[in-house]
Structure 1
């Protein structure tokens, strides 16, 4: 089995999307925009992040996305149409990477469920219930804050429930929020925002593709319908944008289907739970928080059990391999003592701490496979 390949955390990865767009608006030159071809100059820009729209899925099921398929075919070959999301490949971590232009080892949004160092509990970085102060948990300036300081008005468009949420505050603060109930309303709000000022950055988030993939599976006909709806609205968005406005489409992660029969419950497996205090992370990327001194033994047991179906490493080994990018010493303890990343269509759950509804989801992500890591980068320049 090949070694785990670290994601890119520069312009070849999700970290570089917003910095590259900001640079194209003659805004601040941020480090993550390096190591790649600059984007064509524009006065205004709209960036759409479609949650769960992995590049592998989009490529294989491109019949559902004629607009995106055509845009990819016409894209400048010097601007690669595929980026890596980062590890773990999960929304909370990817939003940190996308919103700050920093790797997880710096921004510290370490996964779906994370243990606060020094505590005996997990908190969910998506819903942020009983979580730490988001601005202390992620203190680095966001790309939106830096763009605003560069006199680029920034608007975030998405479901109203995300306005002021913990994750939004941690990863995406610095934008004026425009709430909308459905995708058509989001597109209309984005068009209004971009037309309101002669210089603008508008970010539109849409989560229906991800929700559908989780519930029905990313190979389902329902997933195809969700992508068709997205594709049609993106076509409409492009047609309504001013000529001096670019449109960029990306995602936070991909997805694979995992049947219930391929999910192992750590709570029911004495061997796997030995020495493990808490199981955080994702079904396909468990992070094991161990009793003091047990990490080496836990890693050995899990390595034997996982075998050729994935990678098992200590936290320090994962950091040394560059999976989190450069790591701040204060952030390192947020990651599990033992990191697991599977590449077979399997997963590990812990029914003691995981919601049964989450365990039952078909579409899953979090690991290092191309299907989960690779995300589209489709850039339509200003006309």
Structure 2
């Protein structure tokens, strides 16, 4: 069966309707009940690398060729559905795709990077979205506020630093796969933009000691990875590398646009170059943190009074919202959001998300308190924007986070020297 085959089609409606109105499920929506069809997620990549490096016994995860070095190249925004749709533009990526993974929920960069490096779902590692409100056990000063986990700022992306209020070591406390690799003597190298050094997300996700090599451009990434691999070493090696510009092109111009395709060509060339120069005993794993959809209908929370009534804070992003109610208002908020959004979004209470394992099969008590009293997942190509509080994000064409296959599915591309 084609792993990207859509679910049974449903009757479509106009997504540009002026007022919130019922919309049918999209043909490619993957609800939690469908996730068993994609048993492997980003959280399985590093455990598979551990098997390849001879550290852990083989398991039920993705198969990775054995060797003494593993490189994981994370391409921000590389979705499996998009790659399938534009396969002619990326023949190397298409040819080397080994399997399809689920990013995990929500399908967003901060959550996915933690799932990748921790080897667990966000119900354990605790980064449950682009933004959310951590519990009191994470806070060292001030009142409880929303944490933007990507920027590690308070309230929104342009807010003040959250490093002192929410120290990364308190927000994410569990040891993960990356630390386990380092504890076994694997030498770790990080290839990523220099501006990432010392950020809250970096400190939360990349807690294993390692060499930091700043690189942004494809040529810089390629050279940093290959230079690391060419050094003689008696130790096993793990290299993490990151490229961001495909995601940025998708957000600004839309996935599939000419600008996005130009960046896909860059990714194709980068991967092809790396594959051609891999040392013997080296395995390259390329994947994405999420895919993307082009939004064509926006519901603005900030100009919809019913969506703000009884609400203390709104977090998440345009495709997935955590809604925190004022004391005693949770039921009214659930009713208001459900009635107003109708079939434009799945709107449920916190307890249902836990029962249905949206955030993974295990959700710790501390993480459960971070989940909104109400959670809303946009359907179709709808976005739940905030024109006042998230002006920049609300202007974007490309979005991700929710349940469509285009957002949830990412490729696992495997090559060995």
What's the TM-score, normalizing by structure 1? 0.91
User: Cα deviations across residues 13-71 of structure 1 (Å, max 9, x unaligned)?
Assistant: 11001110121111245xxx843354221111111110011110011011221111122
Q: Does 2:217 correspond to 1:182? A: yes
Partner residue in 1 for 2:376: 340
Partner residue in 2 for 1:309: 344
Q: Residues of 1 paired with 2:184 and 2:126: CA distance? A: 25
Contact 1:313 1:338 in 2 (8 A): yes
Partner residue in 2 for 1:86: 104
Q: Does 2:402 correspond to 1:367? A: yes
- Listed as ranges, the gaps of 5+ residues in structure 2 are 1-24, 137-142, 154-160
Contact 2:69 2:238 in 1 (8 A): yes
Q: Does 2:22 correspond to 1:22? A: no
Q: Which residue of 285, 304, 317 maps to 1:282?
A: 317
Q: What is the CA-CA distance between 1:141 and the residue it aligns to?
A: 1.8
Partner residue in 2 for 1:136: 170
Q: What is the CA-CA distance between 1:350 and the residue it aligns to?
A: 2.4
Q: Residues of 1 paired with 2:72 and 2:36: CA distance? A: 20
Partner residue in 1 for 2:246: 209
Q: What is the CA-CA distance between 1:352 and the residue it aligns to?
A: 4.1
Q: What is the CA-CA distance between 1:163 and the residue it aligns to?
A: 1.5
User: Cα deviations across residues 245-266 of structure 1 (Å, max 9, x unaligned)?
Assistant: 111111111100114xx21221
Q: Residues of 2 paired with 1:148 and 1:263: CA distance? A: 45
SS in 2 for 1:40: coil
Partner residue in 2 for 1:250: 287
Q: Which residue of 192, 195, 204 maps to 1:161?
A: 195
Q: What is the CA-CA distance between 1:192 and the residue it aligns to?
A: 1.1
Partner residue in 1 for 2:19: none
Q: Which residue of 118, 130, 133 maps to 1:112?
A: 130
User: Cα deviations across residues 319-339 of structure 1 (Å, max 9, x unaligned)?
Assistant: 110011110001111111111
Q: Residues of 2 paired with 1:120 and 1:268: CA distance? A: 25
Q: Residues of 2 paired with 1:303 and 1:136: CA distance? A: 34
Partner residue in 2 for 1:123: 147
Q: Does 2:387 correspond to 1:351? A: yes
Q: What is the CA-CA distance between 1:297 and the residue it aligns to?
A: 2.0
Q: Does 2:126 correspond to 1:99? A: no
SS in 2 for 1:155: strand
Q: Which residue of 20, 37, 40 maps to 2:65?
A: 40
Q: Residues of 2 paired with 1:204 and 1:314: CA distance? A: 37
Contact 2:134 2:147 in 1 (8 A): yes
Q: What is the CA-CA distance between 1:115 and the residue it aligns to?
A: 1.5
Partner residue in 1 for 2:139: none
What's the TM-score, normalizing by structure 2? 0.84
SS in 1 for 2:366: coil
User: Cα deviations across residues 84-131 of structure 1 (Å, max 9, x unaligned)?
Assistant: 111111111111111101111111101112123354421210111332
Partner residue in 2 for 1:56: 81
- Listed as ranges, the gaps of 5+ residues in structure 1 are 76-80
Partner residue in 1 for 2:90: 65
